Structure 1
């Protein structure tokens, strides 16, 4: 087993955060609106179903990306972006 570099540790920690956030997006019933100036977020329970479906799709993408980051570590960048 290879030693993990700092890039591997950081990538795996970000993968855990993406995974947790993705689960929150897929299971949540509210949509959060973020204010870009103040950094505050407000939850809206009366959002339309189309917007909630978009957030759920983003949550599934976050779960997949998070799992890839946890499994492959820093090598996930080579897998996702082989042309760089």
Structure 2
């Protein structure tokens, strides 16, 4: 199912063609073809945007206010193996 945000973005992408339709500069078939081409392009762009923004969401399993505490790292002395 195509999301409404994708259709709205495709409509915005093809808005100049709809504007030219009002001035009788292009045919209705050309405007509809441009809109149909804009739909998959808008879907790919919106999916990419959702993918990028998903990394900034908070994890649900992390309790609110959890603090990460660093642990000390004991480095071995040079020349000695453990």
Q: Which bin holds the TM-score, normalised by the shorter protein? A: 0.3 to 0.5
Which protein is richer in strand relative to its size?
1
Relative CO higher for 1 or 2, CA cutoff 8 Å, sep ≥ 6?
A: 1
